[in-house]
Amino acid sequence: MKQLIDLLEAQHSLTKEEWHRLLTHWDEETAEYAAQKARAVSQKRFGKNVYIRGLIEFTNICKNDCYYCGLRASNQKCHRYRLTPDDILECCKIGYALGFRTFVLQGGEDPGFSDEVLCSLVKTIKKQHPDCAVTLSVGERPRAVYESFKQAGADRYLLRHETADDDHYQMLHPENLSPTVRKQCLYDLKDLGFQVGTGFLVGSPFQKTEHLVADLLFIQEFKPQMIGIGPFIPHEDTPFSNEPAGSLNLTLFLISLLRLMHPDALIPATTAIGTLQEGGREEAILRGANVVMPNLSPADYRKDYSLYNNKLSDGAEAAESRQALDARLKTIGYQTVTDRGDYQKR
């Protein structure tokens, strides 16, 4: 398997058959070899710098009913909220003082938060903080709406494809959601000039090796600027409440593979990784991740943005605890930097 790791490092791609062989025959030794390679590649390009993004979860209202998500429309136990534009601007003000130069506005597909209001909000953030990047993560929209976001000043967009296999996608989503539409959104965003992030769930219900192979082939072909993956973690108020969580070890191995595939990509150590295991975020960074996204949302609302059980929102996950985050990263020889952290092809 080391030969396949070397091949991936050299040419940044594998064939469908090679991916399948690697994912069915890897072991702890293979994972450690990949981690060493990925760490070296990451450090060569980014040093030991970790970019920070201020995450603002501004609404947990969503019209969709995805089977794995705690924010799904039919979850009557979810305590819903929607921040006002002034609330969001205050989060940015606080975040800027803490050293954040990227703000990530993430929310469910909330019909009550109009595209026009969102455009106005982006314009105001860019006016108040012209040296900052704005990332949006608000789901599927028509191309014209994405274009209006870009014209308003949005720099980046996060939209996980979740799974690249069409049949598997339908197992995780209701019939009104289409994998074709999801992928078209990603291509529209890239065509419009956004720095685009996508990614997938590791260990989601019904997932097979061939599904992960499809994910890796899609990312290999699409070449996103940002790649976010995390283990599936069940939520108690969803149809998948009794499904097992995804594998942390497999997630970490895949991060190493993604770093070797796309050496310049911005790859977050996601909250789900830290939720699944204490120290998981640090492990992800040592395997090639180079971004963390502490939570800038008002503290009173953080627990309500419950995508999955026991989602972390305090401690080093909280934006106001940047010193705690810095201290944890220092233990592995890394540091956060006050920087927009834009994607750069080298």
Tens digit of each residue's pLDDT (9 = 90 or more) over 195-241 = 999 999 999 999 999 999 999 999 999 999 999 999 999 999 999 99
Structure confidence by residue, pLDDT tens digits, 316-337: 455 567 788 888 999 999 999 9
What is the model's pLDDT at position 311?
A: 64
What is the model's pLDDT at position 345?
A: 81
Q: Which pTM value belongs to this model?
A: 0.95
Structure confidence by residue, pLDDT tens digits, 89-109: 999 999 999 999 999 999 999
Secondary element (H or E) of residue 321: none
What is the model's pLDDT at position 324?
A: 84
What is the model's pLDDT at position 112?
A: 93
What is the model's pLDDT at position 321?
A: 72
Q: Alpha helix locations (H) across the chain?
A: 2-11, 16-25, 28-46, 85-97, 115-128, 143-152, 166-172, 179-191, 209-222, 248-261, 271-276, 280-286, 322-330
What is the model's pLDDT at position 245?
A: 94
Contacts with 84 (C-beta within 8 Å, 6 or more apart), sequence order: none
Residue 321: closest CA among 83, 48, 52, 50: 52
CA distances to 29, 260, 292 from 41, rounded to whole Å, are: 19, 7, 18
Residue 107: closest CA among 64, 74, 150, 76: 64
User: Taking the chain, what is the end-to-end CA distance rounded to the nearest angstrom?
Assistant: 28
Helix (H, G, I), strand (E, B) or coil at 47: coil
User: Which pair of structure tokens corresponds to residue 37?
Assistant: 């390679």
**Interatomic CA distance for residues 53 and 337, integer angstroms:** 10
Structure confidence by residue, pLDDT tens digits, 164-175: 999 999 999 999
Q: In degrees rounded to 5, what are phi and psi of residue 128?
A: -75, -30
Structure confidence by residue, pLDDT tens digits, 5-22: 999 999 999 999 999 999
Buried b (16+ CB within 10 A) or exposed e, 23-37: beebeeebbebbbeb
What is the model's pLDDT at position 157?
A: 98
Number of H helices, E strands in the chain: 13, 11
User: Which pair of structure tokens corresponds to residue 263?
Assistant: 């050496």
Directed axis angle between helix 2-11 and helix 16-25, to 10°? 140
Do 179 and 141 touch, CB atoms closer than 8 A? no
Residue 55: closest CA among 269, 230, 343, 344: 269
**Interatomic CA distance for residues 288 and 44, integer angstroms:** 11
- The number of residues in the chain equals 346
